[in-house]
Each structure stands twice: as C-alpha cells, then as structure tokens.
Structure 1
Amino acid sequence: MNVKLVLLILAIIITAGTFYYTQDLVKELEKSEREIVELYANSLEFIAGPTSNEDFTFVFENIIKRINFPLILTDSSGIPTSYDVGSGNKNIEIDSTLTQSEKEAFLKNKVQELRKIHEPINVTYNINGKEQIFNKIYFGNSEIIQRLQYYPFLQVIFAFFFVAIAYISFTYLKKTEQSNIWVGMAKEIAHQLGTPISSLMGWVELLKLKSQHPSEVINISDEMGNDLNRLNKITNRFSKIGSKPILKINDIGLVITNVTKYFEKRLPQTGKDVELIYIQPKPINLMLNSALFEWVIENLIKNAIDAIGSDKGKILVAVQEHKDVVEIEVSDNGKGINSKNRKNIFKPGYSTKNRGWGLGLSLSKRIIEDYHKGKLILKNSILNEGTTFLIILEKSLKKNSEKIKNERS
C-alpha cells in the first residue's frame, strides 16, 4: 500500500477519533453543568416558598460554590438582577470603572450572548395553583469546556504537521536510499569490472614479453578469452537485475568450481598470499540461475580476499548436503567484521571500504532469497580471526520449483 495514503488515513482516523471523543466529553460536562444550574433554580424556588424556614447554608456552600461558569439571574422579563453567583473570578467579570448604566448595558449584552449558548432555565413559583415565572437563569460554558471545544481544531493542526513531517521524512529517506543505491551500483560495477580488466592488462604485458614463444602466446590468448567472457558475464548479470531470471537444473558443485578455478589463476595478481580451498562434492542438482549464483559466490570470495591482510590467508568454500537443504559456507581468516557493522552489511550502498560491498552483499542476498528462495546470512565473525557466510538452499527440486512458480504467479 502507498505509504503516503496510509499516513493520510492514519491522520484522518486520529483526528476523527479525537473529535468524537472530545465532543462526547463536552456534552457530558455541559449536561453536568446544566444539572447544577437546575439544582440552583430549584433551590431558589424552595427558598422563596411560603413554608420554607430551613437553614440553607448547605445550598450555598455545596451548590452555589460549584458554579464556575458564566451565570446571570434575571427577572421574568430578562432584566439582570444578579451576576456574582459562584466561585468568584470564574463567573462574570465586570470592569470596576464602568458606571451603573454601563454595567447594566454590559449585562444585557452578556445575557444575549448566553442565550445563544444555552436555553435559559426558568425559576417558577406556585401562586394560587398556577406556575408563574419569576426569574430566568442564563448560563454559559465553563473554561474547561471552552478549551475542549477548541481542542479538535488544534488536533487537526497537529495531525496536519504530523502528516507533513512524516511525508517529508519519508521522501527524504527514499531519495537517500535511491542515492545510496546508485552510488553502490557504480561502486559495484567498478568492483566487478576491476578483476577482469586488471587481468587483461596483465596478459597484454605478458604478450609483449612472450611474443617469441608461440605456445605461451596461445595460452595467454586463451586466458584473455576467459577474461573477455567474464566481462560478458558481468554485463549479462547486471541486465538481469529487476527481472525474474530463468532457473534451470544445475549441479551446484560444478557452478562453484567454475568460480574457484577462475580465482585460483588470478590470486597471485592480488599481491596477497591467499590459499583458496574448495573440495568439490558429489553431484547435487538444484534449481539455479548459474550466472547469478556464480555472482554470489564471487562476491563472497572477493570480500574474503579483501578482508585478508598481509599475513598468509586462507579461504574455504564448503558444501554440505543435508536431508532437505544444501548449505554452502564461505569462510576466511581475515580481519572480521565489527559487531556494530554486522546489521548493516546487507543494506544497499553500505560499505566500510573505498570500493565494493556497496551493493555486492545486498544483491547477493536478493539473488539467494528472492530469486532462489533460500537464505544468505552472516553465520559468524570474530575480529582478527575471520568471517563465515552461509547460504542455505532447498534441496528438493519439486519444493524449490513450486516456490518459484508461486512467486511468479
């Protein structure tokens, strides 16, 4: 689903939920305040009754003091008679510098304002069996209700900023990721092309030296042909990125052998004393795209070579066959990977070196997990001792091919 749409829907849900809850709370508070006013009106009716001779201290201490909202008591015609009811400054405030006539005009205007907020409550008396209105109580909302009424609008503003900030952040992260991918792709292409190009340059120099020895020239030309084929493979691999590759039955041992033989002849050109060990297992047929799977093994071996310093290095490629899966381990005795970097090594564009690893491991993981429905993990790594990567592939051709078929459909 579109992330931007999700953010918008989330903001709408938050705003609508908050608005509904706030309005429900406001209604409950308004109901409670109206009950207080009605109780106050009933108290006035009872106090004014001809038979009343009770002590009304309780009424004034427990009812009137609870009035913390604007309230004006008028006569039956709407002329204000009292406004200083309730808990002091939370009721009607009038400028003390106003004249009496100005105060009366102010209160009349206030009555009209309160009428728009709530219907007045009538104070009635029974005279000769008839109910007559002697007073009217006009009241408004308390300060807390007024605040709550504005709260949904503030929530809308906050939701808008939330969506805006989330959108900007998402866009920035997406652009950063795209930038990292392009940078990583450029590094990876240079990294991939580096080995065969260096080899070709070396073969050219040898040709100059061995031009008088036809047999050696033939061998050198064969190796140059291998490097040119490798360049063709590299371009073919990059052309497959983003499309569904065709998987065929391949002997995984032979596929890995093709890679190790290529590196064995070119290890001396790295300037490092590195031994590449690979024991070819018995034939194990799996659904593979041989070109892409070779790329994965090459990436892991290259990373192992880069991790080995000036000391004698050893790279071991081991294949283990189990009941349901086949495991391929690529181990080295190099410098290892720092613990803080381990969680990032498969991220596009991430690299701790000037070249390589920008996309190599990221692409390798995608090739194994997305295309071959297997797993590529960092099994272990110890600083200054070495690193082991593990590839796990389904052994069952039927099960493996069904996974791939379902993914394509």
Structure 2
Amino acid sequence: MRRSAPVVLVIVGVALLLGWYVLYTRSLVRDLRREASRVGLMYARVYDGLNDPSAEAANTALLDLSGHIRESGVPVILTDPQGNPTAAVNLPFDEPLNSPRVKEYMRELDRENRPLVEKDVGTVHFGNTPLVRGLTIIPLLQTMLIVMFLAAGAYALRTRGRADREKIWAGMARESAHQLGTPLSSLSGWIELLREAADDPMTATALSHMESDLVRLQRVANRFERIGRPPKKEKVDIGELSERVAAYFRARVPTLAHRVNVQSSRSGELVFDADPVLMEWAIEALTKNAIDALAGSPGNVRIFAKAMPEGRLRVRVEDDGPGIPRELR
C-alpha cells in the first residue's frame, strides 16, 4: 500500500491537472468566440454607419465602436505629444487623468505592448485583453503536464527496476534454500547414525548440539524460502517461541570469563495469529542485537512477552550493555 501511494498521488495529480487544462481551454474557446462575435458586430455597425446618409450616423457608429472597445476590457490611455493623458478607458482604478497613478499605469502598459503613435491623435498606450492574459497560462500548464508525465514515467521505471531486483533476490534466496535442503537432510541422517554408535556421554551431548544446529540451519533455509512470499497466519504461542529463542542463545553465549545470561519471561495469554517463522526470525534478530550490544562484557539479556489490551502483543528485548554513546544519539 505504501509503495502504491506515490503512484496513486501522481495519477490523481495528472488527472486533476488535465481536467483543469480541459476546462480552462474550453473557457478560452468561449472567450475567443465571444471576441469574434464582438468584432463582427463592430464591423457591421461601422459599415452601417458609413452607408447611412444621415448626419448622425457616423457619430452613432463611433459611439458604438467606443462601447465595444470598452466591453473588450482592453486598457487604453491616450496622450498628447507632451505625454499628458487626454483620455482613458478600462483602467483598473478610478483616478483623474492628471494623477501620478495614471502615468505609472501608462508605463506598465508600455512594458506590455509598444505604444502606437497616431498623427493628429497622439500616442496610444494599451494593454492586453483578459483573453491574452489567459493564453499566457497555457504554456505553463503544458509544461507542468509534461514535467508530471516525465516524473511519472521516471518513477514507474525506477519502481519497476526495484521490483525486478527484489524478484531476482527473492528467487535466489528460494533457490539457495532449495539447494540447502539436500545436504541438510543428509547431515540429519549421519547424525542419527553417529548417535546409534556413540557410547560416550560427551559425544552424545555433542551430537545433541549438532542436531540443534542442524534444526537451526533448516529453519534458516525455510526463512530464505519464504522471502518474497506473503506471510502465513496460524496459532502461535509467542511465550514458547521466546523461550525457544532464549534457549538457543543460552547454549551459545559465554558462560565463564564474560558470562552472559539470557532469560525469558511471559505474562498473560500469548497465543496469537502470526507467522511462526517470521516471528521467530524477528525475536532472534532483536536478541542477537542485544547480545552484540554487550560488546563482549558480561551482562544480562531479557526477552519479555506480554499480552496487551485489544488483542495486541508486546515483545521486549532488553540488555544492560553500555548503550549508544551520548554524542551519537
């Protein structure tokens, strides 16, 4: 689930961005159609005014043209040859023409578009329509989409490569476990033959330890075979499992010069649904870390299993070693 979360987030992000892109372009198309209809209407009114023989037809056409310009939303400022504003329309504020704010906004318009000089009219300073400002966002949206697609592709390739490597390692581990099975079975048979012929108690004890180590190797082989496979669920007595781990290490830690005591205790009902192989593996790893933490000094290692409320379990492995140095914490 955690591995698939980034993929889901990328897919959702791309889908949202694509949806926004489609809706935004559709709104721009509507604005373009509205602009085209406005231009057509302007042409029709001017043409009608030019063909109308009445004296007021031209003025009416010009007034209509001025109204359409105002509706287009284009900010326009007219100035005389001395640079003084004489007329303005569609400004984002309401100020007198001689105010400094109008001249400052006029310089902003000049940075957007080069002013036009018209003889007998003056200089025309104009900005962009809302449609033009909206079109400038399109390249940004396209760039974001391309970047997100490239990022998603790179992540997919990386995830696939990592999954392939994990599959290879899991296959190698299972194959190694399979190959170990035959010699381990042979060793088990040889130990049985030696036990039948052994009369010395010390030899019998050694054979018992050898058999214990052989069982241990078989468990390790089983663990390798389980790599890459889903865990099993069965009833497991965690207290008994902890005691078995403690007994295994108890027979192998120093008992003379640097004595190490490995103890196991339990509290409550400790039968849970779990994978016995993986649970034993985890407790062994914690116990080995605790023994290593003693750093060759005598000490105690305690494995404590306790049933918790709501059907939970706590396994605590403690040691009285020196711990992590303060400067490294």
Query: TM-score, with normalisation over the residues of structure 2?
Result: 0.54
- Alpha-carbon distance change, 28 to 65 in structure 1, aligned in 2, over 3 angstroms: closer
Q: Which has the higher helix share?
A: 2
Partner of 2:152: 166
The letter of the residue matching 1:233 is: R
Which amino acid counterpart does residue 293 of structure 1 have in structure 2? M
Could you tell me which residue of structure 2 aligns to residue 260 of structure 1? Answer: 246
Compute the displacement of 1:259 (Å). 0.7
Bigger RCO of structures 1 and 2 (CA < 8 A, at least 6 apart): 1
Aligned to 1:276: 262
Structure 2 unpaired stretches of 5+:
75-108, 117-127, 181-198
**Which residue matches 2:315?**
328
- 1:155 Cα shift? 4.9
Contact 1:15 1:152 in 2 (8 A): no
Measured in 1, the distance between the counterparts of 2:299 and 2:167 equals: 31
Residues 37 and 177 of structure 1, relative CA distance in 2, 3 Å threshold: same
**TM-aligned CA deviation for residue 50 of structure 1:** 1.7
Deviations 1:4-32 (A, max 9, x none): 79967864663354134223223224414
Q: Secondary structure at the match of 2:56?
A: coil
How far, CA to CA, are the matches of 1:159 and 1:49 in structure 2? 57
Q: Distance in 1 between matches of 2:237 and 2:220?
A: 21
Decide whether aligned partners of structure 1 residues 289 and 50 sit closer, same or farther in structure 2, where only a CA change above 3 A counts: closer
2:54 alignment partner in structure 1: 50
Q: CA deviation at 1:185?
A: 10
Displacement after TM superposition at 1:237 (Å): 2.2
- Alpha-carbon deviations, 1:256-298, whole Å to 9, x = none? 11110110111229x9764323224576433344333222211
Residue 232 (1) aligns with residue 218 (2)? yes
Cα distance in 1 between the residues matched to 2:275 and 2:140? 57
The structure 2 residue matched to 1:319, chosen from 305, 309, 312, is: 305
Q: Which amino acid aligns with 1:34?
A: S
**In 1: Cα distance, 2:258 partner to 2:30 partner:** 80
Q: Which secondary structure does the structure 2 equivalent of 1:328 belong to?
A: strand
> Counterpart of 1:130?
none
Count residues in correspondence: 252
Distance change in 2, residues 1:32/1:272 (3 Å): farther
Is the partner of 1:268 in helix, strand or coil? coil
Q: What per-residue deviation string (whole Å, max 9, x for no partner) do you get for residues 201-241 of structure 1? A: xxxxxxxxxxxx93323212211111111001111222233
Q: Is residue 303 of structure 2 the alignment partner of residue 300 of structure 1?
A: no
1: CA distance between counterparts of 2:275 and 2:57? 102
Q: 2:273 aligns to what?
A: 287
Q: Compared with structure 1, are the counterparts of its residues 280 and 19 closer, same or farther at alpha carbon in structure 2 (3 Å cutoff)?
A: closer
Over 3 Å counting, the alpha-carbon distance change for 1:174 and 1:311 in structure 2 is farther
Separation in 2, partners of 1:229, 1:245? 21
**Equivalent residue runs for 1:10-409 within 5 Å:** 11=14, 14-15=17-18, 17-32=20-35, 34-35=37-38, 38-39=41-42, 41-42=44-45, 45=48, 50-52=54-56, 59=63, 62-63=66-67, 155=141, 159-176=145-162, 179=165, 214-243=200-229, 247-268=233-254, 274-281=260-267, 284-325=270-311, 326-334=313-321
Quick one: which amino acid aligns to residue 50 of structure 1?
S
- Segment of structure 1 superposing worse, 244-253 or 229-238: 244-253
Which segments of 5 or more consecutive residues in structure 1 lack a partner in the other structure? 70-86, 94-141, 194-212, 338-382, 388-409
TM-score normalized with structure 1 length:
0.46
CA distance in 2, matches of 1:384, 1:156: 52
> Match of 1:218, as an amino acid?
A
Does the Cα contact within 8 Å between 1:43 and 1:59 map onto a contact in 2? no
Partner AA of 2:242 in structure 1: I
Asked whether the 8 Å contact 2:262–2:301 carries over to 1, the reply is yes
Q: CA deviation at 1:40?
A: 6.4
Distance 1:308 1:41, change over 3 A: farther
Map Cα deviations across residues 244-265 of structure 1 (whole Å, 9 max, x no partner): 5554444322221111011011
The answer (yes or no) to whether the contact 1:304–1:331 under 8 Å persists in 2 is: yes
1:368 equivalent in structure 2: none
Distance 1:173 1:323, change over 3 A: closer
Instruction: Quote the Cα distance in structure 2 between the aligned partners of 1:176 and 1:334.
Output: 38
Name the SS for the 2:254 alignment partner: helix
- Indicate if the aligned counterparts of 2:253 and 2:260 stay in contact, CA closer than 8 A: yes
Deviation track 1:301-327 (CA, whole Å, cap 9, x = no partner) reads: 122223343554432211223454332
Letter in 1 for 2:41: E
- For residue 254 of structure 1, give the secondary structure of its aligned residue in structure 2: helix
After superposition, the Cα gap between the structure-2 partners of 1:32 and 1:235, relative to the gap in structure 1 and judged at 3 Å, is same
